[in-house]
Chain A
Amino acid sequence: MKRKTRMWSNLSAKIASVPMLVTAIGVFVLCVVYSIALSFTRSRYFPKFDFIGFDQYVRLWTTDRWTVSVSNLLIFGLLFVGFCLLLGFLLAVMLDRNIRMEGVFRTTFLYPYALSFVVTGLIWQWMMDPALGIQNVVRNMGWESFSFAPLTSTTYAIYGVVIAAVWQGTGLIMCLMLAGLRGVDREIWKAARVDGIPLWRTYIFIIIPMIRPVIVTSVVLLSISVVRVYDLVVAQTGGGPGIATEVPAKFVIDHFTERGNVAIAMAAATMMLLPVLLLVGPWVYNEYVRRVRA
């Protein structure tokens, strides 16, 4: 093949980036604007631009199902991110102590991540079913008063969802953390040992600050799966019992489809976008705008 001139390769690079550019502007900007515009209308299944102001937002925030969804997202988000980081880190530390059969453990812990959320949801639905699952097994072993059926209670059901999600997500975090730990210079360990610093202090005060980029990546990955959590809830609880495990994404999709109320779905979607903008906006400003000025 003939060597291409610089201009040509530039051109093909430009052509190649056109689809992405179109997608970025078309999907991320225009569609967001379109969705926000729809949230101020009375659209049902089909877009209709009869603006009615903030009515949909008023209804949204006076609807129990939405407020429950929002508080569920907060509970789920904090616990899911927290436990995944903690357990992922602990597992990674244990694997990093040069244990035997590390490969077996690593694969076993990572395996849940290979399952889709739907499969995870169904597995845990059965495990938490009082007549089939863990409770039944333990009771059959003789512990008659044992009780573990979070999904049957409106108070605890959301924690049942958290358990399933943590079970699935921890393996990936463990792998990321393990890679981070393996990247730490062996000399650091030697130096710490020479100075007589206890193991736990070495981890907390030396190693954790050193693998900070890995932790940030993990938090970003986990946060993304928090905001879009949908399939897990649909498979595991269907939002129930009652409305106890509803989440915002499910509210949006249900109203967008089955309920035939696109306007309120878009109002809810806009509310989901707000915190993302509030978090990402300052970051983008910090990373790009301010740095360029400086």
Chain B
Amino acid sequence: MKTSRIALFASALMCSTAFSAQAAELEVIHWWTSGGEQAAVSLLAKEFDANGQDSWRDSAIAGGEQARAVVMQRILGGDAPQAAQFNNSRQFEELAEADLLLDLSDLAKKEKWRDVVRPKSILDPCEIDGKIYCVPVNIHSDQWLWTNKAIYKEVGLEEPQSWQDVIDQAGKIRDAGYIPLAVGGQGWQEDLTFDDVFMGVGGKELWNKVYVDRDEDAAKSPEVAKVFETYGKLRDLTDEGSAGRNWNDTTSLVINGKAAVQAMGDWARGEFVLAGKKAEVDYGCVPGPSRHPVLTTGGDIFIFPKQDDPEVEAAQLRLASMLLSPDVQVKFNTAKGSSPVRGDVNMASADPCMQKGLALLNDDENIALPKNAILSSDTDGRIQDLVSQFWNTPSMTVADVQDQFAAILQDGS
């Protein structure tokens, strides 16, 4: 009896190794779970399966934070997925430094990624110690206001062009029975709204001084105080159901005519498309909001954790190459509502909102690095905690939050 049990155990072990050695099936972890996102990612899966030898095993995990945590744990635990989505940021930097990621430099050189990728800064977070460790697939910018045109028409107002406009118009919109500004009360959404206010009120120069140069005087300046002040005023503009609401549920408030405006990244466009709405007819998109909008070039990238099997590695390279191919770039980004990472593709089919974004991307003046590409995950997270605490604690003074803000930036990496 004892021996049979050992045999059973041994065969179980063998089975598990046999499964993991199965070639050319790549498990891809991502957090594209909302309707619009799913439509986009299934395009990638279909395209990859179509090459005849590989297959895409979809592992969707709701919520970016959760998905990244799972990927990290699985890589550290020796059970790495074959590909994983991250933000174009410093989130995966330590994985690359620890030599856990597949080096894509040769492929990048062969396909001239440095030349085709636009803007050039998009590839910077992928490059660590001179080697390329990730494939950017899209550009997402956070600085967008999504408006319900019908509400503005009914109330008789122009779409807001600045945060001050949003605040000034709130009374009239509220009186007409609508939510002036829909905010999803989750830490990252509150932080995204803060970033939009920072860019809209403070501008690109202040952004770079505070985050890139870590200029303590700038962080303590009256300009940053004004950012926090404006941000604090937005609290009263949202609704009671805000707490804990997902971003796409918040977007549907705008789609369904319950809220006038939501500040959300350009991925919100996918939700409007899915609901059958027309850009600049049913819904509007205002970059910034600012008269000189600046977009942060965030987005998604894929990393490919190192595998022992050369066959799997070859499939990983095929996937990397496919993700950046012009045809896939157009299809995927059209479905997802993001901008392609290469400038040499024809995006004529893009709707007016995407065209606005593409036009802005062509000039480096309108572009800044997102916070999570500048700050370490730890510091970025501390800022998010602070901003979220400030948003939810109206009794917290601007001076208090600004002191803590400056202290974190001085202390953190």
Interface residues of chain A, those whose CB is within 8 Å of chain B, are: 44-46, 59, 63-65, 125, 129-131, 149, 151-152, 154, 157, 237-244, 253-255, 257-261, 264
Pick the contact of B378 from A130, A242, A253, A261 — CB < 8 Å?
A: A261
| B12 close to chain A: CB less than 8 A | no
A258 lies within 8 A of B68 (CB): yes
8 pairs of A and B residues whose beta carbons are closest in the complex = A242-B392, A257-B69, A241-B392, A131-B241, A152-B243, A261-B378, A260-B377, A259-B381
B72 lies within 8 A of A241 (CB): no
A46 nearest in chain B by CB position: B98
With A44-B94, A45-B94, A260-B94 as contacts: A240 and B187 at CB distance below 8 Å = yes
| B76 close to chain A: CB less than 8 A | yes
Stretch at the interface among B140-148, B273-281, B383-391: B383-391
Residues in B210-243 with C-beta less than 8 Å from chain A = 240-243
A152 lies within 8 A of B240 (CB): yes
Q: What residues of A have a CB within 8 angstroms of the CB of B355 in the complex?
A: none
A125 lies within 8 A of B68 (CB): no
Interchain pairs with CB closer than 8 A, number: 90
With A130-B240, A241-B185 as contacts: A45 and B388 at CB distance below 8 Å = no
Q: Supply 17 A–B pairs (Cβ within 8 Å), ascending by A.
A: A44-B378, A63-B382, A64-B389, A152-B240, A152-B241, A152-B242, A152-B243, A154-B392, A238-B244, A240-B185, A240-B243, A240-B392, A242-B393, A258-B72, A258-B381, A259-B381, A261-B378
Q: What residues of B have a CB within 8 angstroms of the CB of A238 in the complex?
A: 186-187, 244
Beyond the given A45-B76, A149-B240, A241-B185, please list 12 additional residue pairs across the A-B interface where CB-CB is below 8 A: A131-B241, A152-B185, A154-B392, A242-B187, A244-B392, A253-B69, A257-B73, A258-B65, A259-B378, A260-B72, A260-B91, A261-B378
B253–chain A nearest beta-carbon distance, Å: 10
Q: What residues of B have a CB within 8 angstroms of the CB of A257 in the complex?
A: 68-69, 72-73
B91–chain A nearest beta-carbon distance, Å: 8
| B376 close to chain A: CB less than 8 A | yes
B187 lies within 8 A of A260 (CB): no
CA distance A45 to B376 in the complex (A): 11
| B347 close to chain A: CB less than 8 A | no
B30–chain A nearest beta-carbon distance, Å: 16
CA distance A253 to B66 in the complex (A): 11
A15–chain B nearest beta-carbon distance, Å: 10
CA distance A113 to B242 in the complex (A): 29
Residues in B23-62 with C-beta less than 8 Å from chain A = none
Q: What residues of A have a CB within 8 angstroms of the CB of B382 in the complex?
A: 63
Q: What residues of A have a CB within 8 angstroms of the CB of B242 in the complex?
A: 152
A129 nearest in chain B by CB position: B241
| B322 close to chain A: CB less than 8 A | no
CA distance A254 to B73 in the complex (A): 12
B381 nearest in chain A by CB position: A259
| B95 close to chain A: CB less than 8 A | yes
Q: What residues of A have a CB within 8 angstroms of the CB of B389 in the complex?
A: 64-65, 242-243
CA distance A125 to B249 in the complex (A): 14
CA distance A95 to B72 in the complex (A): 49
Pick the contact of B72 from A45, A129, A243 — CB < 8 Å?
A: A45
B377 nearest in chain A by CB position: A260
B393 lies within 8 A of A125 (CB): no
Give B160-189 as 1s and 0s: 1 = Cβ < 8 Å from A's Cβ atoms. Answer: 000000000000000000000000011100
